[in-house]
Structure 1
Amino acid sequence: MILADKISLLRKKSGWSQEDLAEQLNVSRQSISKWESAVSIPDLDKIIKLSQIFGVTTDYLLKDDQGEEDLVFIKSEGDSAMRKITLEEASTYMELVQKSSRRIAPAVSACIVSPIVLLYLLGLSQAPDAVLPHGAALGIGLIVLLVLITGAVATFITTGIPLEKYQFLEKEVFELEYGISGLVQEKKAKHEPTFIKGIVLGVILCIVSVIPLVTVSVLGYSQLTVLLCLDLLLIIVSAAVFLFIRVGMIHDSYQKLLQTGDYSIERKIISKKIGPVAGIYWCMVAAAYLLLSFLTMKWGRTWIIWPCAGVLFGAITVFLSQKNSKK
């Protein structure tokens, strides 16, 4: 569907005459008539204004491969004008995410490796010729664990505060100013190889991490050796998680600005609809789990409620998604 047909369609859906639309755009009725008959096309500023008036994206107006079946309104009657992201805001956000990923990734890794000193010292204290008492091993290990976790939490808080004002990118529908989409897509394309390498390497590390622990467990090595392999597992997993977060945060920032993937307009609309349902649903599941567990006292079996509830919730989400797509 070409732009001319879309203007006519949206105007009629809004119940406006050509004069009504012309008045809102501060143009003549003849201009509207020429646009709708494809004799001429509106300027860029008028296209942006049209997207705001009709509550659709400029992409929808400009892309001929999108027709009435692809129409998604990004605001309803009574809503305020759609938020627009400037080049400065987009650039500041992308730079902030890159800086934050350098701090959050190692902080999460620190949380994962925080128990390794505790596990190692406890293993030493239980050896037959141990010099370090069990109490001292426990105390030193807990101190190291708490220091690492405290530092990580402090990092999460200080890093998260500047990002709070950009949380609307995940939930609200917005529009990028002209030229920003191309800039973000270019950055995303450059980062794509790094993102893929980081994810692949992270997955490989997660798989490799369990090999030493499984090997020593099967061969019947000492408890200290098992604990050392467990420490090694935590270190390798922490490296994998570091990669996931480091490349993932940057990749997500591009998706949020472009409103693609998990942050598409359709997903945001569905999330708003399913949010209240999800809260009630999981409260009912938790209540059913506790009630059944206390009545039967078979806690080892009643946990099956959770995976079943997860599968059912997924089906509900798919149903609501399809219903929204049809609308």
Structure 2
Amino acid sequence: MKLRALAVVLAAAASLAVPATASAATPPSQSAAGWLARQLVGGDHLETVFGGTSFPDTGLTIDGIFAFASAGVADTAAGRATTYVASNLAGYIGDGVDESYAGATAKAALAAEVRGLDPAAFGGTDLPTRLRALLTPSGRFSDHSAFGDFSNAFSQSLALLALDRTPGGAPASAVTFLAGTQCADGGFPLDFGVTPCVSDTDSTAMAAQALQATGRRGKSQQGLTWLAGKQQAGGGISAGTGDPAVAPNTNTTGLAGQAFRAGLRLAAAQKAKTFLTGLQLGCAGIVANRGAIAYDATGYNADTVVRATTQGILGLGGRGLAQLTSAGSSAVEPVLACP
């Protein structure tokens, strides 16, 4: 479907997306996704707060698309967000001539796939072809930019996940490259080529999903073993090295919980879910905040809660990124029912 036609269909459907009152039995992921849908600025995108000012954030909007698909609700809102991403693609992935960003290109391609759209014709761009053009002889997907190469474990993992869904699959050299970055302790670093190798919790969650999807289950499971070893008593995991002396957070725990479930580490996945639901605002919270997931135990913070909720939803029981789809999702945007 061409972008213009898609936009017309989504605009017509928007009037059908009305909030639905959630009962006490509504899954936490759905009440969180309902709250998140109501945070879309202009009804179609999410914004990041920096220095007290809000800025449109295409990458965060894609995180929202993943969250809606994971929860299986807010499908009409997700459609509007998808149209926004397609309409603002060049500013996000680069113009393809002077600037091309591997991670952004991969993430946009995965978003199209999750939405059931053709990534080779998304926003007027052939994203898989653009992404494959950024593959270096080493197997690393690298940025082509005058500002430097900021590609890392996230961009490499997203590239494998996105291309694995396309004809021909992910390049073998790229899979081998990511597998080869594994640290001696089993985890995966954020940045490549750094000595000594230091495992990172967020990067390990992403790499484990990508390697499992592309046939490197052994490497993936080793990563999940390391990640599970960083899980604190309450089920949360802290960023960076996973130092138990550092307070755990929703963003890291959400990614880890999704990776645990995808890798069938169900006990660890359940512990992560327990931590996440413990930070979700319920009936005791302000009405407008109910359903949101705070970043950490300090509570609701407007500067961090949107990103925390998008990534927290991923750890509440949905599919992994390799199988994530919006197919079958409902248009409803649940509102937590409270006395």
Fold-level similarity (TM above 0.5): no
TM tier, smaller: under 0.3
Q: Which has the larger radius of gyration?
A: 1
Answer 1 or 2: which has greater helix percent: 1
- TM-score relative to the length of structure 1: 0.23
- TM-score relative to the length of structure 2: 0.23
Greater relative CO (CA pairs within 8 A, separation 6+): 2
